[in-house]
Amino acid sequence: MIGFFVPNTNIYLWIIGILVGILYFYTIPLAVLGSFILVYLIYYKYRVDVESEERWRHVVENLQLDMDAASQNIMMELPFPLIILRKDETILWYNSRFRTILGSKANILNKKYTKIFPEFDFDILTGEEEQWSEFQLRDRHYRVYTKPVTNAKDEQIFLLYWIDQSDWKELKKKYEMERPVVAYLQVDNYDEILSSTNESYRPLINAIIDQKIGSWCKEYDALVNKYEQDQYVLVFEQQHLYAMEDKKFTILDTMRETQSGNKIPITVSMGIGFSDDDISFVQRKDLAKSAMDIALARGGDQVVVRRNEKVSYFGGKTQALEKRTKTKARLKAHGIKELIENADQVFIMGHALPDIDALGAALGIYRSTMFLNKPAFMVIDDSNPSIDVLYKDMLGAGYGEMMLRGESARKKWTTDSLLVILDVHRKDLVQDVELLAKAEKVIIIDHHIRASNFIEEAVLTYIEPYASSTCELVTEVIEYIDEEIDLTELEATALLAGIHMDTKGFSFKTGVRTFEAASFLRKKGADTLKAKEYLKDDLEILVAKSEALKEIEFVEKGVALAVVENRSEKVQLIAAQTADAMLNIQGVEAAFVLAQNGEGAIISGRSYGKVNVQRILEELGGGGHMNMAGAQLPGVDPAQAKEKLIQVINKYV
């Protein structure tokens, strides 16, 4: 019944046949005539169907031929290069545009694709999915679209469409190069320069500073605005930043060499912030401000470039100028006193493998905390050769109960506890990283040049690179907390020993305030002979130093290198003292000593100032001062560390 309603020409023949059959009952002649007509109609329908099928087949065949011709024409005239590969990377076919980008008329059919483009990622020919990849051919950039298909022989082939992205890449690069960069520039020692200069020369110095900075900014098409007597803000394009970096920020040398009646060199610091992401001007300003803070904390006379979380350093050729005022020390001391008074207990922690400077400073903060009637604990896991004598004296004097291992300190910690970190400001170098992670209130007192992985969470930071030692800074803090703090002889002597050690007997990095701090400690009962005894070497250290000194080699003019073969627990102290001893050799301006401890290679660097050892060892993950720095390379042996160090020294020179 369903078929009855579907259009079908056969239905007419059936109706006619039925009607002819009925005629046979009424009139034979008409029925015979109807039969002849029916036969003719059946024959006619058959001929029509055959001819219609033939015409349709002809149409389909012609259409297929037309489609094949169109497909071939499209493939040949595609607006971008196309190449077809077999799975074995053999070239099956390519169009004329692909030949054009090759720049060669040589026939490459049936050649291996790997020989023509050896740098191409051929892993894309192993998948079953469509893929995109990037490829550079000479000075053009292409985005290659790979489509796997199966041919008539049931073989897998790959169609590679090469889409030229060079114009887009060029536009993107132009956009990136024209991104705005914000920078802060400050004259480090402006007040000291003017106060030490004859009054008649002061206007000239101001004018020359503005002229030198303005001239340098004009060279890089930078907008500069002076918003304080000694502070400037700059805005320029990112492409000019790369030019500045290539020339190592010549403004540093230009200002340092300026002489117009000033008795001390003019130094400037710069903080530059930019990002690869599209961030606002406010965010760029914050990055630049953060970079400027780092530059000043590192002692000035340098440029710090902050690119998101990555920080780069330039300059740093002069010693940090010692400040003539103690205002900052007094303010920091009052802040430290207030934080101690508001805490329920205080934990004092230095760096891993503490030295005399860290332990002496810890004793000073311990006594200040006890004076303010707050319980205090020093976090020390174990003694080491550099503090053995002082450590034993502390145990003999009853300090054992106040010294805790990291695990015990974490158990005693409360939400109202205060953590004071001494002689270190890097998260990865503190005595107990887990205790630092628990602390909500942290004070940092340090004299090292600020590094990039700084403990940002500190509520109070007192970092002064000009200071000789952390013991000097802590001594000043003790003076301003309360002059009546009664240091024991052991505590005063330990503080003096810390200063003595870092100044190499008051002959290195020693300023007026260093002697003032030593004088204060002497009044409090410090024993100078005992302080020197804390710094004595044992026979093993002297022998190891002598053996290392015999094997000194010069890797650059004035730069000497030695390797310590000793593998005892005293190796770190041996390396540091060997580097100190090397500076006493004629012709040595900078000394590097390599050694090995249980974790890997260690490097100690020392210099008299012409070579910035801190900049060199920062490249290897270390830090310190321009005259005294160190680095640790876990999992690296001294031979490998030596090779890396020589590469960095050559790059620096």
**Domain residues of the chain, as ranges?**
3-74, 82-170, 178-315, 327-533, 539-652
pLDDT on residue 407:
92
* pLDDT > 90: percent of the chain: 30
8 Å CB contact between 587 and 599: no
Instruction: Kindly report the average pLDDT of the chain as a whole number.
Output: 84
What average pLDDT does this structure show over 289-300?
82
- Write out the two tokens for 196: 């030490």
Minimum mean pLDDT among 103-112, 183-192, 613-622: which range?
Answer: 103-112
pLDDT on residue 267:
87
List, as residue ranges, the binding site: 351, 355, 357, 423, 447, 502
Whether the CA torsion 250, 252, 257, 262 is positive or negative: it is positive
- CA 378, CA 447: separation in Å to the nearest integer? 20
Burial of 169 by CB count in 10 Å (0-12 exposed, 13-18 middle, 19+ buried)?
A: middle
Query: Which band of pLDDT confidence, cut at 50, 70 and 90, is reported for residue 259?
Result: confident
Q: What residues contact residue 93 under an 8 Å CB cut-off, 6+ apart? A: 83, 84, 109
Q: Taking the mean position of all CA atoms in its chain, how far away is CA 67? A: 57
8 Å CB contact between 378 and 395: no
Whether the CA torsion 631, 441, 384, 573 is positive or negative: it is positive
Domain 178-315 sits in CATH 3.30.70.270: yes
- Write out the two tokens for 401: 């109960």
> Which CATH number is 539-652 given?
3.10.310.30
Secondary structure percentages of the chain, helix, strand, coil, to 5 = 45, 20, 35
508-542 confidence digits (pLDDT tens) = 778 888 999 999 999 999 999 999 888 887 788 88
pLDDT on residue 571:
84
Query: Which band of pLDDT confidence, cut at 50, 70 and 90, is reported for residue 324?
Result: very low
pLDDT on residue 189:
80
Residue 45: is its pLDDT beyond 80? yes
- CA 78, CA 101: separation in Å to the nearest integer? 14
What average pLDDT does this structure show over 128-144?
77
- CA 262, CA 371: separation in Å to the nearest integer? 46
Q: Which fold has domain 327-533?
A: inorganic pyrophosphatase (n-terminal core) (3.90.1640)
Are 327-533 and 539-652 in the same CATH fold? no
Q: Which residue has the higher pLDDT, 548 or 519?
A: 519
> Which CATH number is 82-170 given?
3.30.450.20
- CA 628, CA 604: separation in Å to the nearest integer? 8
List, as residue ranges, the binding site for Mn(2+): 351, 355, 357, 423, 447, 502
Strand order in the sheet with 156-164: 91-94, 82-86, 156-164, 140-150, 131-137
8 Å CB contact between 453 and 427: yes
pLDDT on residue 152:
65
